Amino acid sequence: MSSIALKNYSIIKYSNGNKHQTDDLIAIEEPLQIVLIHSGKDQEAPLTITMRSPGNDYELAIGLLYSEGIISTIDDIEHIRYCNSSNEENQKNKLKITLKPEVVVDLDHIKRNFLSNSSCGLCGKQLLSQLCEILPTQTFTRKVPIDLILKLPQILKSEQLLFKHTGGIHACALVTSNGSLLTVKEDIGRHNAFDKLIGYQLTKKESFQNTIAVLSGRIGYEMAQKAAKAGIPIIVAIGAPTSLAIDIAQQAGICLIGFVKSTSLNIYTNPDYIET
């Protein structure tokens, strides 16, 4: 368990007509600023500020850059470090990532994309059309037993250490198609948890082929997009998918499964990936 991601608060607890003072562990939320540097052009550009749970910041940033198409491999990064600020409080809340000279990148264009990302103004159909132009199509020939899929939420839950103490943390797991757990990442933001997971796999220089992403919450289009970009063929979630997530999964050849419980689930796309 990451000690820096939790903080103890004194609270008043009320239950069954009684109240008492007690301590409660709360998930820490802090900003992380990511700054890009292109060593070949001597350019520095603040990219984004994201609210996250401290910990695995390098993996979070790497996964975000990969999901956004800024890097295509971990080898595109020359080095990554925290800002050497004299302000101790903020020293671990700012990352500087230097891209190698041969990486082709338009920093001004990237900054504009990030600024407009939260309010793109596109309807779902237009957005899907744009996304599917750049997303790879999966090819998955294996059959995953449905009994394995039904067990995945419990496997994820057993590894959610921060959630056990706070109840306010999302998690993503990456498992192989035979059920072996590769990693679990937690964060206050579901997108951050997924980026941490992707960044972890990239730093290990391991493939996403024949893997399954297991999500603790719902599946929005961003989560489906990240899975498609990474080449993850199956998404399993405890919650519901959105319509655009289903459309993206269908277009990208992803098997999308939601509302997974111990005895039931819903398969929304590519059911032939699952052996029933």
Could you list the active site residues?
120
How far is Cα 36 from Cα 34, in angstroms, rounded to an integer? Answer: 7
The burial class, CB within 10 Å (0-12 / 13-18 / 19+), for 31 is exposed
Q: Which residue has the tokens 């350019």?
A: 43
Of 169, 180, 172, the closest CA to residue 2 belongs to: 169
Cβ neighbour number for residue 61 with a 10 Å cutoff: 26
| DSSP result, 115-164 | HHGGG----HHHHHHHHHHHSPPP-----EEHHHHHHHHHHHHHT-HHHH
